[in-house]
Structure 1
Amino acid sequence: MPAPASSRRRIGVLLVNLGTPDSPQTSDVRRYLNEFLTDGRVIDIPAAVRYPLFQGIVVPLRAPKSAKIYQQLWTERGSPLLYHGLDLQTKVQEQLGPEYVVAFGMRYQNPGVEKALQELRDAAVERIIVLPLFPQYAAASTGSVQEKVMEIVSKWWVVPSISFISTFTDDPGFIGTIVALGKEEMARHQYDHIVFSYHGIPERHILKGSHNGYCKLGSCCDTYNENNRYCYRAQCFETSRLVAAGLGLTPEQYTVSFQSRLGRDPWLKPYTDIALKDFPAKGIKNVLAFSPAFVADCLETTIEVGAEFKELFEEHGGEHWQLVPSLNSHPQWVQAVTEMLKRN
């Protein structure tokens, strides 16, 4: 007979997303931005410059503006990034069953990674699988989560085996869910063009992480291989190629672009807000937009891509701009996450 569930050695799962303010009030947004923008992996400048610049100037100026945007995003359940994460946690736990313990945490603010790890520690799990919910690896997102987890567990007297799922750029379940959601939208309306808009990062981040100088910010991303497996730009293009293939698109029918840049240094190009202004003049009046760097709806998807880019597109002569919803806790995505974890 199988051993009772209570006596089995269980596997801990830690799902982690970026973070969200506790409320859309300016004080909470300021706290969130302070933690986020002083992370040395996000803003990779010396701490002696980073802290006074962002805590003393950037965050105080940005917080009130960001708070107004968060107020547009907030729902009765609170922040979408948070409740979609909690929904995913619940559904993945149901799929995995009692041999697993699934916890959810945010890299910045609440519920924190430390609290989530403590839940797994209290459950006396045999080992822990960490899944940062960022499809494409970047040092500023997945890398930051990994660093935080290692910092926390390094203080434990007993450290269990820990493994990380560092990227799921080309995971069939991830790609398949995006394709399914895209097909639903394409069945409702005819589109002239598809846009895959990813969160941008500074070009220097790509070059700093380049394997033996392979990355040139050009045709090196035309294929996805062992030399650029952890290049964020290459991963974005690979995800786009796979989704496009699933939707039956030719290279001419879609654009890969990047959003949410900050500061004056060059970020990954083309910039989405610049590219979409030229579409109407080229006869592209109906656009379907995807945000494949995000697995849950948030400010960057719902507000930036879904509302601000729509308004900008229409101002320049566009007729219809539609954002494909994020994966959130879609049943197909829950199954994909479950299978990823079991494989690990």
Structure 2
Amino acid sequence: MKIGIVLMNLGGPTHEDNVRIFLKNLFSDEDIIKLGGGWGQKLFANVISKFRAPNVAKDYKEINGCPKGCTGSKHCFNRKNRVVSDCCSPINGLTELQRRSLEKYFKTILPEHEVQVYTCMRYWLPFAETVMEDMVNDGITHTILMPLYPQFSWTTTGSSFRDWEEVLNKKFEGGKKPWKEFHVKNYYLNESYLNSVNSRIDEAMAEMDEDTKRKTHFIFSAHGTPLLEVRSGDPYTVEIKETMEAVMARRTEKNPYWLSFQSRVGPQKWTQPNTEELVERHLEYGIKNFLMVPIAFVTDHIETLYELGVELVEDMEEEGFEFENYTVMKGLNDHPDYIRALAEEALNCLRHEIPASAIQWDKKETKTDVTA
């Protein structure tokens, strides 16, 4: 048995030259922008990517993830060409870090089995076809598709699964893939995952004095979704709320907390309240201490580092508001508890393939409560 775990993520541009292509791929996705596909969708994607690319490139330059050289996958053009980019999304290097961390973890807990971990990006390299070629060459017999989205949405996990299936059916005649395949739908109530979120909250709170801790409001910020998706039964918004409540239920110190949504794109109506508008409302009431908890994002990228870390603060200050303390929680990235959560979910898929006695879990006890 050769196990392949495919970490599915959004992806991000690696150079200024491919920002427009990345955006075009994003806006061409019918699971995100529902314009019926066809020429109308292509026209919209071409036009909006052309006009947005210059400004988006500036944002990526401000949070460049590879200032000293490529930290992304072996398929990254920067790595192949030994280019030091000044416009690379941090999601590329951090997803590669998650890949390496998970692969290393499996060597510890499953020493008698060969486990290889791959990254598959939805809108930039490496794409599904490249990953499948790697897996065929590596002789993978059992595959787990592992979305780096703890909560399920048709616009994220669903889109990645659909794209994978379409590529697979084109690549293998009759869709007869050379491996047994499993899918992880969601894992937002996995205890190790919840522990990792609370651990990151604790890290942020530890940098504050006691008075600041007491006054701090938690703003759980998730990527918004079109209301059309919510009304059609997409479970994402409900799962986000359940994640927030599960995180807070495991804390002994109960800071005030709120849920908001960010990153609206396209002409449709999206979930509310908007993150920036919610923070502004708090500032108007005299609340000036915030911990931003990016609850739907497990990897730091433009939504966390720029939208929350830079843009929101600048916009509020331009409106004349002042913060006493504003902190953005660090992404889960390679947090040990998060890596463990991914391993737990993968092995749950293989529970009928691998005996429990073959798994050498570390001695860490699963936490049931945390402190602030």
Between 310-319 and 165-174, report the one with greater CA deviation: 310-319
The CA distance in 2 between the partners of 1:128 and 1:288, in whole Å, is 38
Secondary structure of 1:152's aligned partner = helix
* Paired residues for 1:179-190 under 5 Å: 179-189=198-208, 190=213
* Deviation of the 1:88 alpha carbon: 1.1
1:156 aligns with 2:172: yes
Instruction: Give ranges in structure 2 of 5+ residues lacking alignment.
Output: 71-87, 108-112, 350-372
1:132 equivalent to 2:147? Answer: yes
1:309 aligns with 2:312: yes
C-alpha distance in 2, partners of 1:272/1:113? 33
Counterpart residue number, 1:319: 324
1:201 to 213, 225, 230: 225
Deviations 1:68-118, CA, capped at 9 Å, x for gaps: 111111132443101111111111111113521211121111122221222
Matched, 1:52 2:67: no
Kindly indicate whether residue 295 of structure 2 is the aligned counterpart of residue 292 of structure 1: yes
1:166 to 185, 189, 194: 185
Find the aligned partners of 1:130 and 1:63 in 2 and give their Cα distance. 31
CA contact (8 A) 2:25 2:45 kept: no
Matched to 1:192, the amino acid is T
Aligned residue for 1:91? 101
TM-score (norm 2): 0.80
Structural mapping, 1:1-344, within 5 Å = 9-23=1-15, 25=16, 27-47=17-37, 48-55=39-46, 57-74=47-64, 75-76=66-67, 77=70, 78-97=88-107, 98-154=113-169, 155-157=171-173, 158-159=176-177, 160-189=179-208, 190=213, 191-208=215-232, 210=233, 231-248=235-252, 250=254, 253-314=256-317, 315-344=320-349
Distance 1:64 1:247 in 2: 43
SS of structure 1 residue aligned to 2:122: strand
Contact 2:217/2:290 (8 A) holds in 1: yes
Whole-Å separation in 2 of the counterparts to 1:121 and 1:173: 32
Contact 1:195 1:257 in 2 (8 A): yes
Query: For 2:32 and 2:191, how far apart are their aligned partners in 1?
Result: 29
- Report how many aligned residue pairs link the two structures: 312
Q: Given residue 114 of structure 2, which amino acid in structure 1 is its aligned partner?
A: E
**Matching residue of 2:78:** none
Aligned 8 A contact 1:297 1:326 in 2 = yes
Identity %: 27
Return the alpha-carbon distance in structure 2 between the equivalents of residues 52 and 29 of structure 1: 17
Matches of 1:37 and 1:263 in 2, distance apart?
A: 9
Across the aligned residues of Structure 1 and Structure 2, the Cα RMSD in angstroms comes to: 1.6
Deviates more, 1:271-280 or 1:42-51: 42-51
Deviating 4+ runs (over 4 angstroms): none
> TM-score, normalization: structure 1?
0.86
User: For residue 50 of structure 2, what is the amino acid of its counterpart?
Assistant: P
